[in-house]
Amino acid sequence: MRCKVCIHWKQRGTENMYPETADIETSSEDYARRFSGAAGKWMLKIQEDIVTGWLSQFQTATILDVGGGHGQLAIPLAAAGFPVTVLGSDASCNQRIQKEVSEKKITFLTGSVIELPFPDNSFDVVISVRLLPHCTRWPELVGQLCRVARKAVIVDYPTSQSINVFSSSMFGLKKKLEGNTRPFALFRHSQISDEFAKHQFVQARRRTEFFLPMVLHRKLNAPGFSAFLEGFFRATGLTGILGSPVLVEMGRR
């Protein structure tokens, strides 16, 4: 079963040897501005806390962050002492993590995200956030993440089992509010779990991040109020049922 919407993005004015290059956009300064305000920092902290909490069971794990040039997880994980390698589809994808790379806190390599340049089982944990919903050949991406992971894979995805189901009809409004938004694929939870199961990975943990659309939190730019609202929806159980995006940890069977 394919994703509801499939998007292939190509950076304007550039040529790239790889077939999937969505991480060039998410590694850019323009994309980083989506998370530059108080609300953006609050949203990233929620993502960071979930992932670092999960990784506490892998104290000395080697980490591969595929498409992680945005630094949202690579930087805090490196600061926590994990050996982190970031793979980007273009040399420009290291601009957000350049300081950490120059200080040898993060290793940066270029390569295809759907044909990872590593042997099987090269890393304890493989992470990929902000990439799956923009990758046309996402099943190949999943297969590659699983191939090089010894223990676990962590990804995120927006789900159609949420108010994101209205994202297509509301895209024009969202673009007007955010300016630099782009289309993305929506997934059912079963699509993700079924694809990972093909590679002998099963769900270990799943956490929905927000009930309300992230664009609303950005526009409010009031993390205290946003935290109150999200706390209410999480307490009622609505976030667990209808929340998005979703972070999931898949463990090798």
Over residues 106-158, the pLDDT tens digits come to 999 999 999 999 999 999 999 999 999 999 999 999 999 999 999 999 999 99
pLDDT range class, residue 166, cuts 50, 70, 90: low
Question: Residue 1: is its pLDDT beyond 60?
Answer: no
How do residues 63-92 score in pLDDT, each as one tens digit?
999 999 999 999 999 999 999 999 999 999
How do residues 215-225 score in pLDDT, each as one tens digit?
899 999 999 99
Sheet holding 84-88, edge to edge: 106-110, 84-88, 63-66, 123-128, 149-157, 246-252, 201-208
Question: Residue 13: is its pLDDT beyond 60?
Answer: no
Mean pLDDT of 224-247: 96
d(CA 94, CA 69): 5
Q: Are 64 and 153 in contact (CB under 8 A)?
A: no
Q: Which residues of 134-159 are buried (b: 16+ CB within 10 A; e: fewer)?
A: bbbebbbbbbbbbbbbebbbbbbbbb
Question: Residue 7: is its pLDDT beyond 50?
Answer: no
| Number of residues in the chain | 253
Answer yes or no: pTM beyond 0.85. Answer: yes
Q: Which residues pair with 88 in a beta bridge?
A: 110
pLDDT of residue 169: 44
Q: Any long-range contacts for 203-207 (C-beta under 8 Å, 24+ apart)?
A: 203/248, 203/249, 203/250, 203/251, 204/152, 204/249, 204/250, 204/251, 205/54, 205/248, 205/249, 206/246, 206/247, 206/248, 206/249, 207/50, 207/246, 207/247, 207/248
- Mean pLDDT, all residues of the chain: 89
Pick the CATH number of 23-252 from 1.10.8.50, 3.40.50.150, 3.30.1490.190, 3.50.4.10: 3.40.50.150
Question: Residue 187: is its pLDDT beyond 90?
Answer: yes
pLDDT range class, residue 61, cuts 50, 70, 90: very high
pLDDT of residue 11: 37
139 Cβ contact list (under 8 Å, min separation 6): 195
Question: Residue 210: is its pLDDT beyond 50?
Answer: yes
Helix, strand, coil percentages for the chain (3-state, nearest 5): 45, 20, 40
pLDDT of residue 184: 80
Mean pLDDT of 190-199: 97
